[in-house]
Structure 1
Amino acid sequence: MKASFTSFIRTGLPVAAFLLSLAAFTFSLSAQTTEEVSAPAPSYSCVEVPKSITFCGDTIDLTRFDRRERMDRELLAFTYMHSTTIQMIKRANRYFPIVEPILSENGVPDDFKYLMSIESNNNPLARSVAGAAGLWQFMPVTGREFGLEVGNSVDERYHVEKATRAACKYLKQAYARFGNWVSVAASYNAGQGRISRELDRQYEEDALDLQLVEETSRYVYRILAVKMLFADPTKFGFRLRASDLYPPIPYREIKVEKTIEDLPRFAKSQGTTYALLRNMNPWLRSRSLHVHGSKVYYLRIPDKEGMRYNPRVLFSHDPKWVVP
């Protein structure tokens, strides 16, 4: 520094100018250092796989290489399936408030709402190529077995509350057979018989240690990944506002004890459209509603004002889903 000062003096420039220059340099260096210190943490391309995760109160160890890599695959899938994942979160705001109390009333762990999420992406109109339908993706035979009406004009697999109660019956039945919820979850995909046989054939007690077809091998890990997603969407790169979410739609109910031959005409008489009637009652599958015997149905008619988008009254069912 002394050499620099001497050379600066020899140029004939005043000392004051040198001091001003030195001060500017020092300020610049200080600002750069401060900027480096306050730089944001790096944004990684992968959600970190935790060492363990809880499911229905049990801790699942994810440190073994095969479990860690299976979990990593599903975390990557939900991170980069942007539109599907975001829609799943948006719809959860409408359907989780309905599903959660039903699970609780029936003694089924709350984590099974994430099974519903991977089954249907929280879309009550979801239908698979194999013919499974609704939020819980019941096949026709299984739906009827657990008390749902499945026909040409009425298909209660699309009824949010009734299908959720039917799912609870299945899950509790499976738990009585297996005694642990991981095997119950795996059986929802593969069937109770197959999981039981493979546990016996492979001399295993944990369904996560079974050699199964790829879809079933991935199934429980997908549920766990979705649980992590809903715990903190920002880790996956999703930053949603409360106004982005889909709100519950207010409605009134009409008790139906007699056949309605013309649902479009009925909708008009109630001040709504046939399309909106079907939207609010997705279990309706035709233009008429036939009532047999003492059967009773309840049709939901949307509230006119409640249908209007109003971001000021939208709120998040779970504050963790949105950013300020």
Structure 2
Amino acid sequence: MKPLLSNTLYFTAGGLAAVLLLGQFAFNDNRKGNKEEPIVYEWHTPQLPKRISFAGEKVPIQRWDVKERFDRELLFNSYSQANILYILKLANRYFPVIEERLKANGVPDDFKYMAVAESNLQSGARSRSGAIGFWQFMSDTAPEYNMPVNNQVDFRYDVVRSTDAACKYLKQAYVKLGSWTAAAASYNCGQNGYSSQAAYQKTNNYYDLLLPEETNRYIFRILTFKHLMENAEELGYKLSEDEKYHVIPSRTVTIDSSISNLAQFALDNGTTYKILKLMNPWLRDRDLTVPKGNTYNILIPEK
């Protein structure tokens, strides 16, 4: 039995070697006959617009320093395609509300792009310093702009109240600083910070001022979002209407008395606690105390 086993093993091993050798030749021939060219990707600097303005105020884009600062922000954001597409989806829901409040308050429409620069249109956006909401207000300054903040309510999360608050600030800054561009910049560095730099450098023109680095970039970040979002289709950001986030059909329930259980309130009004909180992110607890003589408007999905 041993010699037979040995011969069988040799025969089997030889056969396997032949198959592998033929397979190797066949594989090599196949590769040579169907060799593909390597894929080479090319990355290009996005083209700057030849002209652009902010709130009706011309941007001196022909200046080398302005051009390069704008180019930096456009380069970094143009290739963040997922972020731009997500912002475009959200803008379809929130821009109509923001635009209406800007118009009602007499603030130029371009300031909707400042909300994008501040929060990417995220109601729950929070900065490292603790600023919150679409327009990034701090908790200690929010009440000055008709946005109560406590453990039950925080209207920095509300798109209508926070947009009205931003408008109030911007109109004050415009009167003090003399231009909408300066007012926008001061939203980042403060009115006193801007005016003190303007006094020292003997110019009120944003594009002539050396400001803190974040403020140096701030207006150009706003301009970048304006350019990308106004020209999204031709720049390659493709979204169908179905892919955009639409305004959620809702009705308003006016509350003039306290609610001890918001989950039960939601059920009584034909929705869930989760949807109630998503549609009213300013509600921060499980109950709601309504001070005497006050009212709150709560959004409920239409049935």
Give the TM-score taking structure 1 as reference length.
0.78
1:114 aligns to 2:113 (yes or no): yes
Distance apart, 1:44 and its partner CA: 6.7
1:97-150 alpha-carbon deviations (Å, 9 max, x no partner): 111111111110000000011101011221222111111111112211111111
Q: C-alpha distance in 1, partners of 2:145/2:297?
A: 20
Distance apart, 1:52 and its partner CA: 2.8
SS where residue 141 of structure 2 aligns? Answer: helix
Alignment correspondent of 1:177: 176
Alignment correspondent of 2:201: 202
Alignment map for 1:1-324 (pairs within 5 Å): 45-304=44-303
Residue type at the aligned position of 1:132: A
Number of equivalenced pairs: 262
Q: Which runs of 4+ in 1 moved over 6 A?
A: none
**Gap runs ≥5 in structure 1:** 1-42, 305-324
**Gap runs ≥5 in structure 2:** 1-41
Cα RMSD after superposing both structures: 1.4
Residue type at the aligned position of 2:288: L
Q: Is the 8 A contact 1:51 1:61 kept in 2?
A: no
SS where residue 151 of structure 2 aligns? Answer: coil
Alignment correspondent of 1:32: none
Distance apart, 1:228 and its partner CA: 0.4
SS where residue 255 of structure 1 aligns? Answer: strand
Distance apart, 1:298 and its partner CA: 1.1
Distance apart, 1:45 and its partner CA: 2.3
Residue type at the aligned position of 2:295: V
Q: Is the 8 A contact 2:177 2:204 kept in 1?
A: no
Alignment correspondent of 1:320: none
Residue type at the aligned position of 1:147: N
Q: Is the 8 A contact 1:47 1:236 kept in 2?
A: no
SS where residue 234 of structure 1 aligns? Answer: coil
Distance apart, 1:50 and its partner CA: 2.4
